[in-house]
Structure 1
């Protein structure tokens, strides 16, 4: 086997085109598991962004943020989808008043009156028990606000808020992608190593394949010699036809060739810049199919053992590839 083919090449190359806008990443492999976080201050608030991703067949984005920011949900979802092609991504955006801004907060009496009135309506109309405490009231949205206005107005104009959310989310996504790239490099390195093992098994199968027919021919000739008591003639022509039929039935050249082609395609996918997870899953299914065909055709103990070893290795590859984007 070519020495260069079995060498595990460096697997991660991340290129940041524009760090302050949407980041273009050109990886050799990405994991679907990662975590990223960022924070910034805006309009007297500390805004924190958390992004978590796990395995998923498709790109599923789940957003959690203050209610008055849901108008930006589509924009934020598009930003996530421009970075991530596959996986479930949970985005959590929290807003807290900074210590400096907290000293400038004032009580919104109208909000307090509204909450108390609503509580009385619930008690009278539905007969619900319980009383609002001071802690309950102070923890309600809009009760405490900055002197300049309520929370949804002190966060700046719509364009400023949109730009702030896009910037913060992009920064957290950059951190997430770096983690996914590091994890992906380990996964790809393991997959390259296991592909090398599969190629070794395939090469051993190819070397053993011709011996299957010759061993069967010798065993059959010996068996016929032992059974021949002189009551029937030995016909070389029929014997040759039997060997030819057996050779055709147990021929695995096509399966071995397709296996080698699948190995090369897997390497190409892992070295490519496009998400490879789904294609890898398909190739692994095809390799399993070829391996099963070899196992059903071969009539040789060593080949059967090699087939079982290859199936076990393919299962490990399938588990690892399930984490590749």
Structure 2
């Protein structure tokens, strides 16, 4: 099963008075690179989250964005800090006794003093070991849900790319078959054309040497023989199909095979001395370039 390196997934859950959203997106990359962005006080979870991503993703750049915002529906309102109220009143009484100041603190003035009302957001950050464990499980669950959504998208696109590559491999095999059928006739055509040319040039001043003529044809046949290249190409085609049906990441292996197929095709182009074969070579190189571009998107 082939996977694309491009995908997107997201999830959202509620915990501790917060709405936590996890967004995961991946793009092409030579290796597996995981980039995490999250609230600073959750930095301690980075290693755990990074390992979870690497369990599912073998290649590509993966951006993980975790945000939290106060859930207005479930979060508790501000809480009265009784100890702060008591401290302010004791300080007011001390000012009155020690410095002879007069005046009374009104309810409105007391509520406006700093620290009188506690913000639940400040008490929701994981501090204790028990809380940290709870957040670890929540973040792991949110990331897992997002990753499954991302993998589903990568799988769908991967199947499409594999189908396209199989179609292009079929075209390459058709060109390969045409080359294999034409190759034996190249020498025959060259022999007949050379014999006809010599006859036209022979004005009776030189004898026709059948032995030298045979040697020339033999040298030409050896020089333009492409049987080995065609055999290796056939093997590469079969390996490509095996990779596309497998479950392991295939991007790098496929890239190597494409390089090898290009090398064999270039060798055929340099050895063949036939206009039709040259056309097949050019068409095969164009198709291999399209395959290379598509394979660059596979994990």
**Considering the TM-score relative to the shorter chain, is it more than 0.5?**
yes
Q: What secondary structure does 2:123 align onto?
A: coil
The answer (yes or no) to whether the contact 1:104–1:147 under 8 Å persists in 2 is no
Residue 41 of structure 1 is matched in structure 2 by 14
The 3 A distance-change label for structure 1 pair 76 and 207 is same
Q: What secondary structure does 1:100 align onto?
A: coil
Q: 1:81 aligns with which of 54, 57, 65?
A: 54
- Structure with the bigger percentage of helix: 2
For residues 234-269 of structure 1, give each alpha carbon's deviation from its aligned partner in whole angstroms, at most 9, with x where no partner exists: 110110000000000000000000001000000000
Segments of 5+ residues of structure 2 without an aligned counterpart are 85-116
**1:168-247 to 2 correspondences below 5 Å:** 168-247=142-221
Residue 66 of structure 1 is matched in structure 2 by 39
TM-score under structure 2 normalisation? Answer: 0.85
Question: Per-residue deviation at 1:107?
Answer: 9.5
In structure 2, distance between residues paired with 1:297 and 1:148: 76
**1:23-38 to 2 correspondences below 5 Å:** 28-38=1-11
For residues 58-79 of structure 1, give each alpha carbon's deviation from its aligned partner in whole angstroms, at most 9, with x where no partner exists: 0000000000111010110000
In structure 1, distance between residues paired with 2:121 and 2:19: 17
Q: CA RMSD in A?
A: 2.0
Q: What secondary structure does 2:242 align onto?
A: helix
The answer (yes or no) to whether the contact 2:126–2:135 under 8 Å persists in 1 is no
In structure 1, distance between residues paired with 2:275 and 2:266: 15
**1:26-175 to 2 correspondences below 5 Å:** 28-105=1-78, 145-146=119-120, 149-153=123-127, 157-175=131-149
The answer (yes or no) to whether the contact 2:25–2:63 under 8 Å persists in 1 is yes
Q: Does 1:272 align with 2:246?
A: yes
The 3 A distance-change label for structure 1 pair 232 and 105 is farther
Q: What secondary structure does 1:49 align onto?
A: strand
Q: What secondary structure does 2:73 align onto?
A: helix
Residue 128 of structure 1 is matched in structure 2 by none
Structure whose CA Rg is larger: 2
In structure 2, distance between residues paired with 1:205 and 1:244: 20
Question: Per-residue deviation at 1:151?
Answer: 2.8
The 3 A distance-change label for structure 1 pair 48 and 105 is farther
Q: What secondary structure does 2:61 align onto?
A: strand
The answer (yes or no) to whether the contact 1:49–1:172 under 8 Å persists in 2 is yes
Question: Per-residue deviation at 1:155?
Answer: 11
Residue 318 of structure 1 is matched in structure 2 by 292
For residues 15-65 of structure 1, give each alpha carbon's deviation from its aligned partner in whole angstroms, at most 9, with x where no partner exists: xxxxxxxxxxxxx11000000000111111111000000000100000000
Residue 236 of structure 2 is matched in structure 1 by 262
Q: What secondary structure does 2:10 align onto?
A: strand
Q: What secondary structure does 2:119 align onto?
A: strand
- Aligned pair count reads 265
Residue 272 of structure 2 is matched in structure 1 by 298
In structure 2, distance between residues paired with 1:218 and 1:191: 41
The answer (yes or no) to whether the contact 1:38–1:50 under 8 Å persists in 2 is yes
TM-score under structure 1 normalisation? Answer: 0.78
